[in-house]
A and B are shown apart, each in its own frame.
Chain A
């Protein structure tokens, strides 16, 4: 069963993602910001990261940069960054920081499930 870590400081968003993903059979973990995410990953790896950009103490971009630089298996977990900005430069910036892909909020249930299935290799 594929495991997904949601990194977002809004409890409502984490709850919403969790409901949606668990209902579709994914295992869900949560982290409040980049720091907590790193801590959790060091203990238990996941198959996919969904990362918000704006979080306190360690934002999404900083987190991913730090993650990709590790000489550990967790450095190669595919990551989807979700944020409010919509511009070509934001995709480039997100990828430069370490995101495999970038999607603008809000994420509908269908889109969320699509990404989860694509990133975790669940056949369509």
Chain B
């Protein structure tokens, strides 16, 4: 957000508070010149500010309010409740607009209509406008509960007993009935309250209230509001639960460790400890799933942000497009959903910029005039799959080859040797941008490599399938829940590391003779492919110990679309871990995705392969 907009928001919020004060003071004392001038000046300044940052609808509305107050200043109109109400409504609108501007950088779509209504109201000062539907559609100020609902609620309130409560509930109940003009019932309740206080028994009053409720002929349901099936919970509280569950997992693993030690020392307790550990493991696994399930959001929250950008791009590019979404109810962890918008937006932009042909071309090719972009989401086991499909012209492998050659990303003969499918994958290469002319839309230097990186960072992957002439599909595969990572442990340079299993293709043993030096590095051949080989221990600064083994133990990984080989000393077991983000000294190290604590209390470093293979 630029500094003008920021300053605007800061000032506007202060001005709004000032105006509210002035207007309320003015209502209390209509001859208060200072408050009148103050309110006038606020609208004037808000008008000017809106003009500077180009929010015409707001400027218009403020101008109308300013004019009205100018008339009042000149004596042409009195200060009355209607006037103050209208000015306050204008302020309410501004507050709403400021919130939208803070979130999106622009006024909401209905701002012009809202401004028109405000202007009409202010100018006409009619009461009719006020009786119509409330201006500020989004805010729902809840209405007061009904008297009988409040009466019923007193039963619950009385549950705790005590003279203070009995007295309070009794007074309120009687007043509620007086409000309903049921004076006899009110008097009866007052009498019973006295009895209840004397005996100290709340039940007496509860019974009386229940009787009054049952006798009520009101048709409306007695329950105040239906019990909500959902709770609004602070995201921080859920995160705290997730962390706590992680700690529990660690403790559980520790007990597993103790169980093993007990077995080894033939302790008589060994079997019992083992059993309890097994049970703990099952319970904690269930808890983990439940807790991680708290943080899920439907993908609708991301998908629904696309209709506007697609419409705007469709207009500015003059390419008719319709957007269709499927599977919006599919859920994913909040951490995933949060990062999805930018990469998806980039893919959609690409589709609109390069994939979808101008109408004339589509017609010539016998395609429908209105192009289609599909946003699809579905759950596949432990993964969430999101697809962006367009029915455009697809990706031309030769154009990609040409661009890659031009940018010297790949040697010409390697390019020629690539199949079309492989060539097309080059759009994910860093430094590749398919934007020839930098259209204001895609030319931001955010390439498909950034999309892939963002997705891999949360443990997912992105693939591309294209059918020249028919269109393309970009497929995102993401973990349903971000925190659990399956890793393969390895020993390298005397230390244990975890490698995310998602990235592991296979493990092989390569005879030392088949490891070739290439430039300053090493490589080996795997099924006709040359794969770079990296000594994990040495790379992570653990120093190589002694002579290399006759055979290299290699973990073959796929990361960033590239195959790589990590030479390790020994392979270890596989495990599910809850990843903790690196902090402290580890935070700055490239190549570390996180840590987890093992059963024996030691810390396992989980590798970030893109950092390691760099």
Question: Which of A's residues lie within 8 Å of B, judged by CB?
Answer: 12, 15-16, 19, 23, 67-71, 73, 75-79, 85-89, 91-92, 95-96, 98-101, 103-104, 106-108, 110-112, 114-115, 117-124
In the bound assembly, the distance between CA atoms of A67 and B164 in angstroms comes to 8
Q: Are B168 and A95 in contact (CB under 8 A)?
A: no
Among B117-125, B169-177, B428-436, B488-496, which stretch is in contact with chain A? B169-177
Q: Are A103 and B164 in contact (CB under 8 A)?
A: no
- Per the 8 Å Cβ criterion, residues 135-163 of B in contact with A are 139, 141-145, 147, 150, 153-154, 156-157, 159-160, 162-163
Q: Are B145 and A103 in contact (CB under 8 A)?
A: yes
What are 13 pairs between A and B in contact, CB < 8 Å? Answer: A12-B17, A19-B28, A68-B162, A68-B165, A75-B164, A75-B167, A76-B165, A76-B166, A76-B171, A77-B171, A96-B160, A110-B143, A114-B144
B180: A residues at CB distance < 8 A: 124
Which chain A residue has the least Cβ–Cβ distance from B197?
A: A76
Chain B, interface residues (CB within 8 Å), range: 35 or more
Q: Are A119 and B228 CB-contacts (below 8 A) given A19-B28, A71-B163, A114-B144? A: no
B89 → chain A closest CB, angstroms: 11
Q: Are B228 and A76 in contact (CB under 8 A)?
A: no
Question: What mask results when residues 399 to 422 of chain B are scored 1 for a CB within 8 Å of chain A, else 0?
Answer: 000000000000000000000000
B470 at the interface (CB under 8 A from A): no
Which chain A residue has the least Cβ–Cβ distance from B17?
A: A12
7 more CB-based (< 8 A) A-B contacts, given A16-B20, A121-B174, A121-B175: A19-B27, A19-B28, A68-B162, A77-B168, A92-B156, A111-B144, A123-B178
B165: A residues at CB distance < 8 A: 68, 76, 98
Q: Are A75 and B163 in contact (CB under 8 A)?
A: yes
B318 at the interface (CB under 8 A from A): no
B164: A residues at CB distance < 8 A: 67-70, 75-76, 98
Q: Are A103 and B142 CB-contacts (below 8 A) given A67-B164, A91-B153, A96-B160? A: yes
Which chain A residue has the least Cβ–Cβ distance from B27?
A: A19
Partner of A107, one of B139, B141, B157, B162: B141
B220 → chain A closest CB, angstroms: 14
In the bound assembly, the distance between CA atoms of A121 and B190 in angstroms comes to 12
B271 → chain A closest CB, angstroms: 43
In the bound assembly, the distance between CA atoms of A120 and B171 in angstroms comes to 9
Q: Are B153 and A119 in contact (CB under 8 A)?
A: no
A70: B residues at CB distance < 8 A: 164
A112: B residues at CB distance < 8 A: 144
B463 at the interface (CB under 8 A from A): no
Q: Are A76 and B153 in contact (CB under 8 A)?
A: no
B214 at the interface (CB under 8 A from A): no
Which chain B residue has the least Cβ–Cβ distance from A85?
A: B232
B139 → chain A closest CB, angstroms: 8
Partner of B179, one of A68, A92, A101, A123: A123
A121: B residues at CB distance < 8 A: 174-176, 178-179, 186
Which chain B residue has the least Cβ–Cβ distance from A70?
A: B164
B79: A residues at CB distance < 8 A: none
Q: Are B156 and A100 in contact (CB under 8 A)?
A: no
Q: Are A118 and B176 in contact (CB under 8 A)?
A: yes
Q: Are B150 and A76 in contact (CB under 8 A)?
A: no
Partner of A118, one of B141, B147, B170: B147
Q: Are B179 and A122 in contact (CB under 8 A)?
A: yes
A15: B residues at CB distance < 8 A: 21, 24
Which chain A residue has the least Cβ–Cβ distance from B227?
A: A88
In the bound assembly, the distance between CA atoms of A71 and B167 in angstroms comes to 11
B231 at the interface (CB under 8 A from A): yes
B154: A residues at CB distance < 8 A: 100
Partner of B150, one of A16, A68, A100: A100
Question: Which of B's residues lie within 8 Å of A, judged by CB?
Answer: 17, 20-21, 24, 27-28, 81, 139, 141-145, 147, 150, 153-154, 156-157, 159-160, 162-172, 174-176, 178-181, 186, 227-228, 231-232
A42 → chain B closest CB, angstroms: 15
Q: Are B144 and A103 in contact (CB under 8 A)?
A: yes
A115: B residues at CB distance < 8 A: 144
In the bound assembly, the distance between CA atoms of A85 and B175 in angstroms comes to 27
A95: B residues at CB distance < 8 A: 153, 156-157, 159-160
B150: A residues at CB distance < 8 A: 100-101, 118
B33 → chain A closest CB, angstroms: 19
A92: B residues at CB distance < 8 A: 156
Q: Are A106 and B147 CB-contacts (below 8 A) given A76-B163, A120-B175? A: no
B147: A residues at CB distance < 8 A: 118
Residue with the greatest number of chain B CB neighbours at <10 A, chosen from A69, A79, A100, A111: A100
Which chain B residue has the least Cβ–Cβ distance from A121?
A: B175
Q: Are A100 and B228 in contact (CB under 8 A)?
A: no
B168: A residues at CB distance < 8 A: 68, 75-79, 98, 100
Q: Are A108 and B181 in contact (CB under 8 A)?
A: no
Residue with the greatest number of chain A CB neighbours at <10 A, chosen from B166, B168, B176: B168
A123: B residues at CB distance < 8 A: 178-179, 181
Which chain A residue has the least Cβ–Cβ distance from B81?
A: A23
B166: A residues at CB distance < 8 A: 76
Q: Are A111 and B141 in contact (CB under 8 A)?
A: yes
Q: Are A12 and B21 CB-contacts (below 8 A) given A68-B168, A78-B175? A: yes
Q: Are B178 and A69 in contact (CB under 8 A)?
A: no
Q: Are A12 and B228 CB-contacts (below 8 A) given A68-B164, A78-B171? A: no
A106 → chain B closest CB, angstroms: 5
Which chain A residue has the least Cβ–Cβ distance from B231?
A: A87
In the bound assembly, the distance between CA atoms of A87 and B168 in angstroms comes to 23
Partner of B232, one of A77, A86, A91, A118: A86
A68: B residues at CB distance < 8 A: 162, 164-165, 168
9 closest pairs, A vs B, by CB? A76-B167, A121-B175, A75-B164, A68-B164, A114-B144, A121-B178, A78-B172, A108-B141, A111-B144
In the bound assembly, the distance between CA atoms of A93 and B154 in angstroms comes to 14
In the bound assembly, the distance between CA atoms of A67 and B167 in angstroms comes to 12
B176: A residues at CB distance < 8 A: 118-119, 121
A69: B residues at CB distance < 8 A: 162, 164
B170: A residues at CB distance < 8 A: 76
In the bound assembly, the distance between CA atoms of A104 and B232 in angstroms comes to 13
A3 → chain B closest CB, angstroms: 13
In the bound assembly, the distance between CA atoms of A123 and B81 in angstroms comes to 24
Q: Are B21 and A124 in contact (CB under 8 A)?
A: no
Partner of A12, one of B20, B81, B139, B232: B20
B167: A residues at CB distance < 8 A: 73, 75-76
B27: A residues at CB distance < 8 A: 19
Partner of A111, one of B21, B81, B143: B143
A114 → chain B closest CB, angstroms: 4
A79: B residues at CB distance < 8 A: 168
